[in-house]
Structure 1
Amino acid sequence: MPVRVERRAFALLCHLVEHRNRVVPGEELVAAAWSGEPATNAALATALRAVRLAIGDDGRRQAFIRTVHRRGYQFVAQAKAVTGAVSTVQAAVAPGPADRAVDDTTAGLRDSIRFCRTADGTRIAWAATGKGPPLVKTANWLSRIDLERTMAFARHWFEGLTEGRQLIRYDERGCGLSDADSGFTMDEWVEDLDAVADAAGHDRFPLLGVSQGGPLAIAYAARRPERVSRLILNAAYVRGRLARARGATENAEAALDLRLSLAGWYGDDRSFQRFFGGQFFAGRPPEQWDEFTTYQKRTATSANGARFLEAQSRMDVADLATQVACPTLITHSCDDPRVPMSEAIELADLIPDSRLVILDGRNHLLTGDEPAWHGFLAEMRAFLAEEN
């Protein structure tokens, strides 16, 4: 089955296979894949993860590509040269037309990436993964659905959310594979979700909102009660940081947070970028913060990233939360570094038929090796089982 990968990731794989008799330094891989252009260690790590995902390897097992500490990388699986094989492989990984397919051989899952149009004509990229009853996930922060499964901080979400279900996700307007020149309002984000649900052929479905996707999920459930059967919220909030600020001190802190985040987005100063990444993964090493911020910069332009940050900081769905009529599960890490637990408590107070579960975690976005992740999955699966 053909597996599509980015050009640089494919160049890395070819170089490693060609020089499989030795350890290849990272600098040499960058020179081979980036054709002399500068690249960060995080960019190299991201490309290597994409290669490993494409060939069924991972950073722990290393059955194909071995990491040699402080020296580089080596292709260690058995390989056999076949005449004409290069042109065949290149054809298999060439960019496709409107629909794209990505195989994950380790999880046995396949992405089918498609495109649909909203009522105002905006093109939205969406994907279906897995089989079974649907679970629709709202877009949150910034995404690129053709890349996110290659990222270590995101891969476990697919393995967990697709167990016995078909996961529907998408890139909201302004980022990823969706149209970049679009508005940044709640009404338009609701249109995006309408278009994706229609294209996927689902009239009624459970809806998951994570982080910034939480306010959108709340707004959609309130405005489209006939479509949302159950609502799951994780690390969500009622109001963005500027919207919930009270008094001079909180307003100054919220404004400073936004300025520092924007400085990291627009520039290359790693200290600013790590400030932002650390708010999402406080319980992880700085290398994971770097991976997260590097990935984000590949999802949207600096201008759009700034517009997203500004719009999200001013979100307020307090009135809409009181109108949610479906059963709702709210989960939140007790030491979330970006969104305080008070937001989850307020959500539980505002949404009539809701239950709140506090998770034992320190990260805003759950990582696969923390107790909070396994607690979230158990609570979500039990909650969705009640629908049957």
Structure 2
Amino acid sequence: MLVRVAHWMTHVEHDLRSPVWRPWLDRLGRELEVVRYDERGCGLSGSDDVPLELDTAVEELAAVVAATGAPRVALLGQSGAAGPAVAYAVRHPERVSHLVLLGGYLAGLLHRAPSPEALAFHDASLRLVELGWGRNDPAVQQFFTTRFIPDASLDEARALNEQQRLSCGAARAVQIMRARAALDVRLLAPLVRCPTLVMHAEGDQIVPVGLGQDLAAAIPGARFVTLPTRNHIPLAADPGFELFCRTVTAFVRPDGIKPALTARELELAELVAQGLDNLQIAARLGVADKTVRNALSTLYAKLQVEGRPQAVVRTRELGLGGS
């Protein structure tokens, strides 16, 4: 079971028809049971007067995990939800089997020694949200959509524009943005003890990839994977979307999706995992280079990868290559 920790701009009903989020649910749902919920004051969740702090988010998550009835769950913490996912994993280690973090960070803007220009941009963004978030004004909404998913199709951009309006009102959006800027799990991250996968879009404009690298470095034994996209939310057409979904699934359920390989294919996969090129593999197996190319094509199909880089990642996920 994979619990998607609540993050900004979700609506559990709208997600089901959104070209942004529906592909996630369809693809991850093939092999994982995905549990979703809306952050308080967003989507279908009611709001209250409780401050939007780290403890508030952890309390929500704890209630959802308890409601699943599962003894242990995997957590997916994206963007501002990475912090609450880390905090929950530290406070309730017996309930978390795996931790997956996407586009996350250790600390919000206010804890990163921001420049005066960065603070001014943040304040201007807050003011824009305050005045224009709930209005039916595509120009205002598009400002944020362009930053979140710069390579979106027209349909995807329209869907995220609409999701901004549906997710919450202007006042709640401002509260969420302030809470994210004040988030800080720098002291908690080194205390994580469950297997952790940190993924980040290499061209992310919302959360620079360096912040994701810092997050991975702070968590003992965490694995870091970059995704070849500029989108903070990986989209179905992104070259990294399938890599993201497959890597998450393999990480959470490593024994549930192993492909059926022959003994010869397993030997070939082992050499791929070691990083050998075609000529080296041919020499090791005592076959012609053309034979290796043909065998690799068959192997890639079974592994459901598109080329050597993805094959290396996939075979290592399966425990090959000694890494």
Under TM normalisation by the shorter chain, which class is it? Answer: 0.7 to 0.9
State whether residues 207 and 232 of structure 1, in contact with CA within 8 Å, keep that contact through their aligned partners in structure 2: yes
- For the residues of structure 1 that align with 2:170 and 2:114, how far apart are their CA atoms? 29
CA change 1:282–1:263 in 2 (3 A) is farther
TM-score (ref. length: structure 2): 0.74
Shift of 1:314: 1.8
Shift of 1:232: 0.4
The answer to which structure, 1 or 2, has the higher relative contact order (CA under 8 A, 6+ apart) is 2
State whether residues 173 and 179 of structure 1, in contact with CA within 8 Å, keep that contact through their aligned partners in structure 2: yes
1:160 aligned residue: 27
CA-to-partner distance for each residue in 1:319-347, whole Å, 9 max, x for gaps? 11111111100111110111100111100
TM-score (ref. length: structure 1): 0.62
- For the residues of structure 1 that align with 2:56 and 2:159, how far apart are their CA atoms? 29
- Is residue 2:221 matched to residue 1:353? yes
Structure 1 or 2: larger helix share?
2
Identity %: 35
The Cα RMSD (Å) is: 1.9
**Which residue identity does 1:343 align to in structure 2?**
L
Out of 205, 213, 230, which is 1:362 matched to? 230
State whether residues 144 and 175 of structure 1, in contact with CA within 8 Å, keep that contact through their aligned partners in structure 2: yes
- Is residue 2:239 matched to residue 1:382? no
**Partner SS state of residue 383, structure 1:** helix
1:334 aligned residue: 202
- For the residues of structure 2 that align with 1:175 and 1:272, how far apart are their CA atoms? 19
- For the residues of structure 1 that align with 2:244 and 2:125, how far apart are their CA atoms? 28
- For the residues of structure 1 that align with 2:4 and 2:255, how far apart are their CA atoms? 17
- For the residues of structure 2 that align with 1:155 and 1:235, how far apart are their CA atoms? 19
**Which residue identity does 1:335 align to in structure 2?**
G
Shift of 1:139: 0.6
Shift of 1:248: 2.3
Larger mean CA deviation between 171-180 and 204-213 belongs to: 171-180
CA change 1:244–1:272 in 2 (3 A) is farther
- Is residue 2:3 matched to residue 1:136? yes
Shift of 1:358: 0.8
2:212 aligned residue: 344
Out of 45, 55, 63, which is 1:178 matched to? 45
2:312 aligned residue: none
Shift of 1:171: 1.3
- For the residues of structure 2 that align with 1:321 and 1:163, how far apart are their CA atoms? 31
CA-to-partner distance for each residue in 1:238-281, whole Å, 9 max, x for gaps? 22234324232332233333333444315444332211111111
Shift of 1:152: 0.9
**Which residue identity does 2:217 align to in structure 1?**
D
**Which residue identity does 2:10 align to in structure 1?**
S
- For the residues of structure 2 that align with 1:137 and 1:380, how far apart are their CA atoms? 12
Larger mean CA deviation between 180-189 and 214-223 belongs to: 180-189
Q: How many residues align?
A: 255
2:141 aligned residue: 273
1:313-328 paired onto structure 2 within 5 Å: 313-328=181-196
2:172 aligned residue: 304
- For the residues of structure 2 that align with 1:266 and 1:244, how far apart are their CA atoms? 30
Larger mean CA deviation between 314-323 and 351-360 belongs to: 314-323
- Is residue 2:157 matched to residue 1:289? yes
2:126 aligned residue: 258
- For the residues of structure 1 that align with 2:168 and 2:183, how far apart are their CA atoms? 20
**Which residue identity does 1:140 align to in structure 2?**
H
**Which residue identity does 2:179 align to in structure 1?**
A
1:220-235 paired onto structure 2 within 5 Å: 220-235=88-103
- Is residue 2:68 matched to residue 1:211? no
- For the residues of structure 2 that align with 1:245 and 1:281, how far apart are their CA atoms? 26
State whether residues 8 and 42 of structure 2, in contact with CA within 8 Å, keep that contact through their aligned partners in structure 1: no
1:47 aligned residue: none
**Which residue identity does 1:151 align to in structure 2?**
S
Shift of 1:158: 0.5
- For the residues of structure 1 that align with 2:233 and 2:191, how far apart are their CA atoms? 27
- For the residues of structure 2 that align with 1:264 and 1:340, how far apart are their CA atoms? 26
Moved over 6 A (4+): none
Gaps of 5+ in 1: 1-133
**Which residue identity does 2:73 align to in structure 1?**
F
- For the residues of structure 2 that align with 1:209 and 1:161, how far apart are their CA atoms? 15
Shift of 1:147: 2.1
